[in-house]
Structure 1
């Protein structure tokens, strides 16, 4: 019979497991950003000069022996540590002290003493906190309820003092214990101000809360011994509070392996302190009897020697200044690389720790792919940074999955998905205001119509928002109903506070101005004013949903920009990104070739671009000169175009109406509100579904003359594009006036930034390659219900597009000019006091617009 075979397995300690993994990692340039101890600029342990001198003196003492210490510990250590923590001039008779096995032992002894004698019902621990606080109280006080007070504001990277104090005031009870970090909070590095410490002291007094200070970083945090004990000063000098201090000498003396610590119990009266000491020794006797002596001798020697004490204070400055310099270098490196989010807290945090805001997946990726080790929480220890590794850490922190994905756009990602045979590009979802690009992980929500007899449910989507705990989330909302809002102003503000990156809605939104005002990106089918109240219900969350025919799972990747929305299965993200990055390199190479003077047809059929190359080496450039278009403008074309130089589409449209000519291209709109009118002869192109093997998609561009407008008939298809980045680049360089598409276009950011005019039915990211091909050039085509013949005159502006038959161009231009002159005259008469009716009557405006 085995007594031990059925015992449950222990959970591994995360920090020490990472230490073991780091030691086993054979990578040459690995970086450990986990340690809770000091490292020098070579990432090696540093023996403090003061410690080295103290050891020399101890070993030179002929009376050195290995006898155990008294039950209370090394006497000189106890007195020196009291003066160190509370100051030379305070009444130390109120303090009962006992040596412990480092700070862990001090925290353990405090918990043991309090549960044995005060018997608290609850202990309050900061959220987040050092993991051992929870473990110690779980072991020592299994019946003591552990409560967690809000401490860290993840949005602003500071102490959330309002939430902390509100929680304690509303929920703490007399006799509760609270764990407080005296300085250099672990893991956040965010400390309370002096005024905030006074507030906490007032709360402890008012509600009868017993405080236990964890003091692991005195002097090590700021380099100033007194500054790091300011919290204790507020409590001690009041003389109406009892509290404990768990003091460690591991960090500030570099004696982690010697396990030196002290527990101080501060009583209101000297008599009470005298009663506490034997109770502490009784507990210690039953557990360890006597603490280790070697480290205690070192600390005692330094604290009792003015010369060594001065050297130690200089050592503290050396360590704290190196940590500050590494904080500054990390901040500058991340800012220089424009990593998203604010990193200002790196400069204001205290001590060795800061929270990076990296998700667990990103931390895992840094460790697995780049051999950079952080705790799963994203806590970073600046002592692991050195002048040799700071650059690579900054680069790789910017090289996590979401940052790599951010370097791509929906067009490239859609191409990669096509190549891999994956479905991810959605059709019909667009930015509902001028949203920035967003990249993140999906938090899915399923909505549905509310049945008449169904009971009321919780407010749509709010439980999902409340549950978000990381800053990488994008809400993906399925099940919207046409004409009914699935999103509004209030939940947009709630999502913004939780650092959610945006919302993708297979439905509609309202209050879109509110989302725009706070900079919250929303992508959806459209806008409406009709509320979801009593019309929609939340059916589920964290489940697979379907968005415009694409199945999306919780934690899938999302990228959305001006061209639309694309989803990437989480298990294929590396494949998609690697391929997307190669596509980008290919695209950049092709653009370079086009800019150097090669024709699009030549570049498109160049064998070096046939495959998606894996090399990052720049492609060769055929010619250094920019492309010159040999197809010069026809004089007659130029003369006809000049007739419309002072016209706009409304005036030309009125002229067409008067002549009974259908020329308005319905639903063809500009990518942006261009501030000029684009006029040119039509170079017509007709696309058709691709054959097998597929034919050409863009070779025609080499035949387009300077000043022409390319007019493409893609049958109004919105499921694939026929115009993108390379065509925009080439057309612009060759003096093409613009492009009109009966269908959708992509790479819109490039067109807008290059100020190349494009007018289309919409925008989407999916390529037309292998889906459509050029079927005819310079033949009659249609754009919506408008017939377009080669060399017809195209007039396009912010209002849309009109087509003027070439053989009626002079007639239309003349009438448009009369209409414009009449309107100008009407404006002048109105300014002088005439009514609109009077001005129109006098100038015969109605006659000009009347159909002949």
Structure 2
């Protein structure tokens, strides 16, 4: 008898995880992984933040900590600390009771819970994401019930910067009540953020067109080393009087990737709506994963609410962000030294983990096959994959790929 499951077709691999698998299986001594979005130290090794280690040891010794279920919406002190970190402790929306948070399964879970809330209860069906964006945005929103995916222009291949006129034009043509996904800082994959003046212009158009901002904040503090600077755009929209939601992740800035620590911050214009919103969010989470895990959230909550630990953590994020900045400068310097065709200033103008290099799919393929340097076909690289011992090798390989396969004018990644 045939299996009932014979109707199930093989799905396509997820590129970034597939890349990681190929890297792991590669026996080449000088292989380099520029794919997966995780911090690596100067020896190319994963790094557990010392303040996290310290906290975990303390928690292991604490006999009062139990493994009982958390409430459906998670640890309240964790969410309160997260909202305060994002919006600034004395933000009027917090003191007026118009902002609250719920603990979620990292940034992805936060996007999913927020999207489901907007789709089921506000009946929103249109959503916009930047072209390009983090590849999971589309899937998460579609799976949450949104039916009209659209894109707004973002990356300009020629200038290797933002196509700001295109972005504004696309938002101006967006139907009312469209949800617009905005990267709070360190845009993934391009690493290029709008300037403060550009954010103001984006807010003008969104206000005018009655569009709904959904921020994705995956790198607060990690991008520039400054928590306030990385939250500027979100705070500005709040100050302008927008109602909004923001997905927060602690994967990168606390190095808690596999603990799935996230928060969904919701800012509204009238605190009377907080109780009904929380009740509906409770049912959304109940039907999805019932309640969140405690370990990582406790680590974050304890660090954020203790000034000594908080300062220690801030030093860690400053150190991580400055290492990224140094590696950007080192890669650019090596490419210039080799006389690599093209202008490489965009690498140091970009911020955060990622750089959209401008390499073509064919050049990327060459880097993987000939040089054992693993990167996405879009040309996005994780700058943390670079370190003082491999940056020269990577620059040499990039130079080789560009000389062997010069980019044609029509070889653009806009299609990807």
**TM tier, shorter chain?**
over 0.9
CA distance in 2, matches of 1:151, 1:51: 36
Offset at residue 8 of structure 1 (A): 2.4
Contact kept? 1:97, 1:277, Cα under 8 Å: no
The structure 1 residue matched to 2:237, chosen from 232, 235, 238, is 235
Equivalent of 1:107 in 88, 106, 111:
111
Report the equivalent of 1:118.
122
In the alignment, the residues of structure 2 paired with residue 121 and residue 214 of structure 1 have an alpha-carbon distance, to the nearest angstrom, of 18
Deviation for aligned residue 1:275: 2.1
Seen in structure 2, the aligned counterparts of structure 1 residues 404 and 173 have a Cα distance that, compared at 3 Å, is closer
How far does residue 60 in structure 1 lie from its aligned partner after superposition? 2.1
Contact 2:76 2:102 in 1 (8 A): no
Alignment of 1:375-386 (within 5 A): 375-386=376-387
SS at match of 1:221: coil
Cα–Cα, structure 1 residues 117 and 330, in superposed 2: closer, same or farther, change >3 Å? same
Distance (whole Å) between structure 2 residues aligned to residue 208 and residue 34 of structure 1: 37
Alpha-carbon deviations, 1:454-501, whole Å to 9, x = none? Answer: xxxxxxxxxxx8xx3429xxxxxxxxxxxxxxxxxxxxxxxxxx9xxx
**C-alpha distance in 2 between matches for 1:21 and 1:154:** 28
Distance across 1 between alignment mates of 2:122 and 2:134: 24
The CA distance in 2 between the partners of 1:347 and 1:185, in whole Å, is: 14
Q: 1:516-555, aligned counterparts within 5 Å?
A: none
What residue in structure 2 maps to residue 849 of structure 1? none
Match of 2:403 in 1: 403
CA deviation after TM superposition for structure 1 residue 172, in Å: 0.6
Q: Alignment partner for residue 132 of structure 2, among 104, 128, 131?
A: 128
2:168 to 143, 165, 168: 165
> Could you tell me how far apart the structure 1 residues matched to 2:117 and 2:334 are?
47
Higher relative helix content: 2
Q: Which residue of 2 aligns with 1:29?
A: 30
Matched residue, 1:66: 67
Work out the number of aligned pairs and report it. 410
Query: 1: CA distance between counterparts of 2:411 and 2:176?
Result: 31
Question: Quick one: which of 194, 197, 209 aligns to 2:196?
Answer: 194
Q: Distance in 2 between matches of 1:115 and 1:340?
A: 47
Aligned with 1:287: secondary structure?
coil
Alpha-carbon distance between aligned partners in 2 of 1:118 and 1:103, rounded to the nearest angstrom: 21
Distance apart, 1:254 and its partner CA: 0.2
Contact 1:35–1:383, Cα closer than 8 Å, also in 2: no
Residue of structure 2 aligned with 1:147, choices 137, 150, 164: 150
Secondary structure at the aligned position of 2:394 is classed as helix
Contact map agreement 1:96 1:274 (CA 8 A) in 2: no
SS of the residue corresponding to residue 5 of structure 1 reads helix
Task: Decide whether the 8 Å contact of 1:334 with 1:394 is kept in 2.
Answer: yes
Q: Which runs of 5+ in 2 are unaligned?
A: none
3-state secondary structure, aligned to 1:218? coil
Query: Is the 2:360–2:379 contact (alpha carbons within 8 Å) kept by the matching residues of 1?
Result: yes
Counterpart contact for 1:266–1:273, Cα < 8 Å: no
**1:273, CA displacement in angstroms?**
2.4
1:74-473 matches, within 5 Å, as 74-90=75-91, 91-92=93-94, 93-141=97-145, 144-169=147-172, 171-239=173-241, 241-400=242-401, 402-404=402-404, 468-470=410-412
Offset of 1:138 from its aligned partner?
2.2
Contact 1:71 1:290 in 2 (8 A): yes
Please tell me the root mean square deviation across aligned C-alpha atoms, in Å: 1.5
Question: In the TM superposition, what is the alpha-carbon distance from 1:404 to its structure 2 partner?
Answer: 3.8
Kept in 1, the 8 Å contact 2:329–2:348? The answer is yes
Structure 2 CA distance, aligned partners of 1:72 and 1:312? Answer: 25
1:211 and 1:29 mapped to 2: Cα distance? Answer: 44
**Aligned with 1:366: secondary structure?**
helix
Distance (Å, rounded) in 2 between the aligned partners of 1:237 and 1:137: 27
1:440 deviates by 5.4
Q: CA deviation at 1:141?
A: 2.1
**Residue 71 (structure 1) shift:** 1.0
Aligned residue in 2 for 1:802: none
Secondary structure of 1:129's partner?
A: coil
1:121-179 Cα distance to aligned partner (Å, 9 max, x none): 3110100000000111222225x21110001111112111111011111x211111110
Check whether the contact 1:128–1:187 (CA below 8 A) recurs between aligned residues: yes
Alpha-carbon distance between aligned partners in 1 of 2:163 and 2:26, rounded to the nearest angstrom: 38
1:309, 1:193 → 2: CA distance? Answer: 28
The DSSP-based 3-state class of the residue aligned with 1:399 is helix
Give the secondary structure class of the aligned counterpart of 1:341. coil
Q: CA deviation at 1:258?
A: 0.5
Q: Tell me if structure 1 keeps the 8 A contact 2:83–2:100.
A: no
CA–CA distance in structure 2, aligned partners of residues 39 and 244 of structure 1: 30
What secondary structure sits across from 1:191 in the alignment? coil
1:547 maps to which residue?
Answer: none
CA distance in 1, matches of 2:100, 2:72: 13
Structure number with greater Rg is 1
1 CA distance for matches of 2:234 and 2:289?
28
Structure 2 counterparts to residues 737-752 of structure 1, below 5 A: none
Q: Which runs of 4+ in 1 moved over 3 A?
A: none
Contact 1:182 1:215 in 2 (8 A): yes
The question of whether the paired residues in 1 share the 8 Å contact of 2:360 and 2:411 is answered with no
Deviation for aligned residue 1:221:
0.2
SS of match in other structure, 2:248:
strand
> 1:97 touches 1:264 (CA, 8 Å); kept in 2?
yes
SS at match of 2:6: coil
TM-score, normalised on structure 2?
A: 0.96
Give per-residue Cα distances to partners, 1:498-535, cap 9 Å, x unaligned.
9xxxxxxxxxxxxxxxxxxxxxxxxxxxxxxxxxxxxx
Q: Report if the CA contact (8 A) 2:79-2:100 is conserved.
A: no
Q: What is the CA-CA distance between 1:72 and the residue it aligns to? A: 1.0
* Structure (1 or 2) with the greater strand fraction: 1
TM-score using structure 1 length: 0.47
SS of equivalent to 2:340: coil
Q: Distance in 1 between matches of 2:89 and 2:179?
A: 28
Q: How does 1:728-743 map to 2 (within 5 A)?
A: none
